[in-house]
Amino acid sequence: MRPNLWIDELAELVPPATLFREQVDLLSFTRDTSPVPAGEPEVAVRPSDADGVAEVLRFAKRRAVPVYVRGAGSMYAGGAVPHKGGIVLDMTALDGIVDIDIRRGLVVVEPAVRFGALLKALKPLGYTIGIVPLTGAAGTVGGAVSAHALGTGSPKFQSMGDQIAGLEVVLADGARVRTGSAASRQAGFFQRYCIGPDLTGLFLGADSTMGVITKIALWLHRLPEHVETLCLGFPDSPSGAAFLSAMQGAELTRNTWYGAIYEEGAIVGRVGAARPDIPRETLPAVCVALDLGGEAPDVDRDRDRLVALARDHGGDRFDVFDEVFFRSMRRDHTLWYSFAGYFTRSRCSLLMASLPCETLPALFDRVKEWRAKYTEYVWGTGIVLCRRGVHGAVIAFYDEESQWDAVQPVFVDVMNEMTAMGCVPYKPGKIWADAIRSYPEYFDLLGRIKKTLDPDGTLGPGNLGL
Amino acid sequence: MTTLGRDTLPHIAAFEENLYHCASCNYCVDAVWDEWGIDHVCPTLLHHSPAHGYSGKGYIAAARAWFEGAVLDPMVLAERAFTCTTCGNCEEVCPIGMRPMHVARALRAELADRGHAPAHALRLRDAAMAADGRRAWADGLEGDAGAATGLIAGCANSDLEVAEARAAFRLLRAGGVPIRALADAPAGGALAALGFTREAAAQRADLDRHLTEAGIAKVAVVGAEFLAHLAGGEAADAPPAESVLETIASAVAEGRLRLTPRSDNPPPGSVGYLDPCHLTKKAHGLAGRNLGAVARDLLARLGVTVVEPAAAPRFQVCCGAAGGMPDAQPEAAARMARARLDEFGARGAALVVTAGPLCAAHLERSAEAGGPAVRGLYGFLLDHFDAMPGSAQG
């Protein structure tokens, strides 16, 4: 245990069982799932309610100690990495489901409720929530809200933030505020856009730089009564991208709960392993894999329209991919459980960006170039369909033990190329800090808001480049 | 990355790849996923302390820091590493196949090698190495003198659940299984779990010698930890080992052993079945034998309905019996047991049975405070059924 006067002082303020200062206990808080270098937290505190959060924030402000908020720590961008030391605010004791309000169509949760626990509670009632990330078994709702989650629900609902009816937030000075209609104690959560500007949005994807979320109101949705999968193959990426734009333009995402776009390497790998009898040259270059859900007649109609639209764009059904991979991944829930297989090979980076559909072919081309240029790493993509555009991850697999130092500048080069071609950082955290600073007007406004809400800069220093 | 420990930390070095592959996803800390039957993960975090130093990823992080030359407080590290039930649920849920429980055991071994094993672990080591009383379980049991199969009780049975081992012997004999009771035959499983690898290896060598001298070619094992150590791939060149559970179940299924309900003590209509972690989780190497299904099938054949717990068998949270937990943290271990009993009680089970003698002994102690009663599976069978040779024996 390290002697430290401010930690001793903090220890006087919080229940002993909620403060962790042994080095062995703090080692788990040094990293998240990103390739952002480890930080060295000096203490971790695990408050059990919003008052406890406020107590820690007031102390941190008074003593000018950095605070890094943490849920499961399974994000891909380093937001939870305490690279300036200080306090890790471990939110995992705030894991309750506060209220399931069927009448209002929303559920209010504490931030560290795990998606798996929330879905388990909602399922018997016939409900679900809009966005569920692939880390859902262990991932927390608060982490997902703070870092722009995506995954199941992205085609139908776009982003995690679009599913938020309002928040309760503790600000850097310990003040507690509710956003949206819940600013009125009499009204409570039911409407996000009211009173004035959308203050909820200040805290979405903010990686706790603006405040610490202590309650989240999420919209409820009926579980779809009928589900099925559909895979469509395209001869090249421009025709696949044109199909995606047309699909979104025709609002054919209404009954699409998940969609992924696979490039040639993934197609050859999956089909080649399961069906070596199929000649490689007959496989499509791009696959759009969709998980449809809704009322059966609606799904029937959408499926037929999607197939027709694919044919209009030079594509067709690609049932083999569905049979050998996609259907089982979705129906057996291996997507969540297997961590999408991303990390099975080795540690990897997921450099996550948003991009318009028409940029996708250029990204695929660039990934091929990186494969040729950086042969010491294995490259892949993870592209998730949204209601508009796509969220795309460029994935680089590396051996952390032997390639750590060498891979860091490669990530920088790749991210620079991605932003230059019009990919926009999606997961915030620290990994895209330089890119965020490269949007000067945006960054200036962000900084001014930060200065107002957290003038001492105690909340998540380094996140979002702040 | 500096890898100072490659030459100096051999037990950790055996899991070097894990240190640099763990994605820090937090599944081993806690997870809930209904479709897979995952309903929380780590008993130590749930019932002892939420400090991540006790978690699977915490063990990996500590091992990596040590491996890279960090100076960690050995007493603090030992307290964390030895406060693990070694149930293996962290390995069961890990989406990418990491082995945090084995890393915890590697930490134990490194610490033990350096004289940092805690007092409770040293007491358990001394008890595991003492032969006193270990013979008692087989007193008066007559087997087949020339049988090539030896029945081994396991440490837990010979020390804690003597009646369970003797019940297993009687069931095997009633089923016409040619067998000899082998007293005083530890394999080193308990010592290996505690990190005393040299002592475990010595016990294992003693067992081999003992079996050779006795002319035993195959062993049938009652103890779950023993079976996992011997048959689960942890012990190289182990003699063939079968579970008594499998032997008894197949004897019933094939008509060699007839179990008829006793009129003076008929079986309950339903019981909770607790899957011992050693027999169930892949970390212990026996998951492929599906022994939980064997037990359930046996009970179903006997007309007993099994009350299932909240989680799927492979993901059940440990009752706190193993890994030295009852000695390391008795209050936390009791809370772990209480949680499991309450879970079964809430689902309507008045009796919980298990094929794990360590689990049975530990749960029995907690059951004294109320809730469902607890019985070892073989004792349960003899309590409620008359065991007779079946017609298939001729």
DSSP B363-374: HHHHHTTSSSEE
Say if CB A451 and CB A100 are below 8 A apart: no
Q: What is the mean pLDDT of chain A?
A: 95
The pLDDT of residue A339 is 62
In this prediction the ipTM stands at 0.95
pLDDT per residue over B201-225, tens digit each? 998 888 888 888 888 888 999 988 8
Residue in A with minimal Cα distance to B75: A24
Structure-block tokens of residue B200: 């475990």
The pLDDT of residue A119 is 96
- Position B159 confidence tier, pLDDT thresholds 50, 70, 90: low
pLDDT at A336 over 90: no
The pLDDT of residue B4 is 72
The pLDDT of residue B212 is 87
Question: Dihedral of the CA atoms A409, A415, A421, A426 (nearest 10)?
Answer: 180
What would the DSSP string read from start to end of A349-408? Answer: EEEEEEE-GGGHHHHHHHHHHHHHH-TTSEEEEEEEE-SSSEEEEEEEE--HHHHHHHHH
pLDDT per residue over A409-420, tens digit each? 999 999 999 999
The pLDDT of residue B130 is 83
With H, G, I as helix, E, B as strand and everything else as coil, classify residue B50: coil
- Sign of the alpha-carbon dihedral angle for B177, B181, B182, B184: positive
How are beta strands A127-129 and A212-222 bridged, if at all? antiparallel
Say if CB A260 and CB A386 are below 8 A apart: no
Using CB atoms and an 8 Å cut-off, which of residues 38-57 of chain B contact chain A?
Answer: 38, 49-53, 55, 57
Say if CB A115 and CB A136 are below 8 A apart: yes
Query: Does residue A428 or residue B8 have the better pLDDT?
Result: B8
pLDDT at A340 over 70: no
pLDDT at A199 over 90: yes
pLDDT at B69 over 80: yes
pLDDT at A189 over 90: yes
* Yes or no, beta carbons of A120 and B76 under 8 Å apart: no
Q: Among all chains, which residue has been given the structure tokens 């979104």?
A: A248
- Sign of the alpha-carbon dihedral angle for B165, B168, B173, B178: negative
Is A331 near chain B, with CB under 8 Å? no
* Yes or no, beta carbons of B24 and A28 under 8 Å apart: yes
How are beta strands B351-354 and B373-376 bridged, if at all? parallel
Say if CB A165 and CB A183 are below 8 A apart: no
The pLDDT of residue B370 is 85
The pLDDT of A449-455, averaged and rounded, is 98
Q: What is the mean pLDDT of chain B?
A: 92
- Sign of the alpha-carbon dihedral angle for A332, A148, A438, A60: negative
> Measured in Å, how far apart are chain A's first and last C-alpha atoms?
31
The pLDDT of residue B82 is 97
Query: Does residue B36 or residue A15 have the better pLDDT?
Result: A15
Nearest-CA neighbor of B331 among B304, B382, B366, B291?
B366
* Yes or no, beta carbons of A339 and B24 under 8 Å apart: no
The pLDDT of A208-213, averaged and rounded, is 98
The pLDDT of residue B1 is 63
Out of A290-304, A341-355, A375-389, B144-158, least confident range: B144-158
Structure-block tokens of residue A42: 């000096």
pLDDT at A125 over 80: yes
Say if CB A63 and CB A90 are below 8 A apart: no
* Yes or no, beta carbons of A339 and B19 under 8 Å apart: no
Other C-beta atoms lying within 10 Å of the C-beta of residue A257: 24
- Rounded distance between C-alpha atoms, residue A44 and residue A50, angstroms: 16
Structure-block tokens of residue A416: 């620079």
Is A399 near chain B, with CB under 8 Å? yes
Host H or E run for residue B390: none
Query: Does residue A186 or residue B146 have the better pLDDT?
Result: A186
Is A1 near chain B, with CB under 8 Å? yes
Say if CB B391 and CB B310 are below 8 A apart: no
The pLDDT of B48-52, averaged and rounded, is 96
Structure-block tokens of residue B35: 């479709």
pLDDT at B195 over 90: yes
Backbone angles phi, psi at B237, to 5 degrees: 55, 35
Query: Does residue B209 or residue A260 have the better pLDDT?
Result: A260
pLDDT per residue over A79-90, tens digit each? 999 999 999 999
B111, amino acid identity: L
With H, G, I as helix, E, B as strand and everything else as coil, classify residue B195: coil
- Rounded distance between C-alpha atoms, residue A407 and residue B114, angstroms: 37
Is A22 near chain B, with CB under 8 Å? yes
Edge-to-edge strand order for the sheet containing A67-70? A19-20, A43-45, A87-90, A67-70
pLDDT per residue over B351-372, tens digit each? 999 999 999 999 999 888 888 9
pLDDT at B119 over 80: yes
Host H or E run for residue B306: strand B305-307
The pLDDT of residue B391 is 81
- Which residues in chain A are closer than 8 Å to B19, comparing Cβ atoms? 401
Is B33 near chain A, with CB under 8 Å? yes
| Local structure of residue A215 (DSSP, 8 states) | E
Is B75 near chain A, with CB under 8 Å? no
The pLDDT of A222-242, averaged and rounded, is 97
Say if CB B128 and CB B155 are below 8 A apart: yes
Say if CB B187 and CB B221 are below 8 A apart: no
Tell how far CA B200 is from the center of its chain. 16
Is B12 near chain A, with CB under 8 Å? no
3-state SS of A139-185?
A: CEHHHHHHCCCCCECHHHHCCHHHHEEEEEEECCCCCEEECHHHHCC
- Position A107 confidence tier, pLDDT thresholds 50, 70, 90: very high
Pairs of residues, one from chain A and one from chain B, whose beta carbons lie less than 8 Å apart: 127
Region of B176 on the Ramachandran plot (φ > 0 left; ψ -120 to 50 alpha; else beta): left
Paired with A166 in beta bridges are: A217
* Yes or no, beta carbons of A346 and B53 under 8 Å apart: no
Is A193 near chain B, with CB under 8 Å? no
Is B4 near chain A, with CB under 8 Å? no
The pLDDT of residue A4 is 79
Nearest-CA neighbor of A156 among A178, A179, A128, A184?
A128
Region of B370 on the Ramachandran plot (φ > 0 left; ψ -120 to 50 alpha; else beta): left
pLDDT at A1 over 60: no
* Yes or no, beta carbons of B52 and A28 under 8 Å apart: yes
**pTM of the entire predicted model:** 0.96
The pLDDT of residue A77 is 94
With H, G, I as helix, E, B as strand and everything else as coil, classify residue A71: coil
Say if CB B31 and CB A137 are below 8 A apart: yes
- Position B234 confidence tier, pLDDT thresholds 50, 70, 90: low
- Smallest CA–CA distance, residue B38 to chain A, in Å, is 8
Tell how far CA B109 is from the center of its chain. 19
Paired with A109 in beta bridges are: A97, A216
Is A30 near chain B, with CB under 8 Å? yes
Note every long-range contact of B125-134, with CB atoms under 8 Å and residues 24 or more positions apart, other chains counting: B125/B191, B125/B194, B125/B196, B125/B199, B127/B159, B128/B155, B128/B186, B128/B190, B128/B191, B128/B194, B128/B199, B128/B203, B129/B191, B129/B199, B129/B203, B131/B184, B133/B158, B133/B159, B134/B158, B134/B159, B134/B183, B134/B184, B134/B186
The pLDDT of residue A329 is 87
Is B23 near chain A, with CB under 8 Å? yes
Query: Hey, of A21, A28, A91, A343, which one would you mutate to test binding to chain B, going by the most B CBs within 10 A of its CB?
Result: A28
- Rounded distance between C-alpha atoms, residue A360 and residue A192, angstroms: 32
Residues 6+ apart with CB under 8 A from B219: B149, B150, B151, B152, B182, B185, B211, B230, B239, B240, B241, B242
- Rounded distance between C-alpha atoms, residue A428 and residue A418, angstroms: 15
Residue in A with minimal Cα distance to B25: A74
Residue in A with minimal Cα distance to B39: A117
Edge-to-edge strand order for the sheet containing A378-385? A316-317, A226-234, A286-294, A256-262, A378-385, A390-397, A348-355, A424-425
Helix axes B224-231, B357-367, angle to 10 degrees: 160
* Yes or no, beta carbons of A24 and B62 under 8 Å apart: yes
Other C-beta atoms lying within 10 Å of the C-beta of residue B135: 14
The pLDDT of B281-293, averaged and rounded, is 94
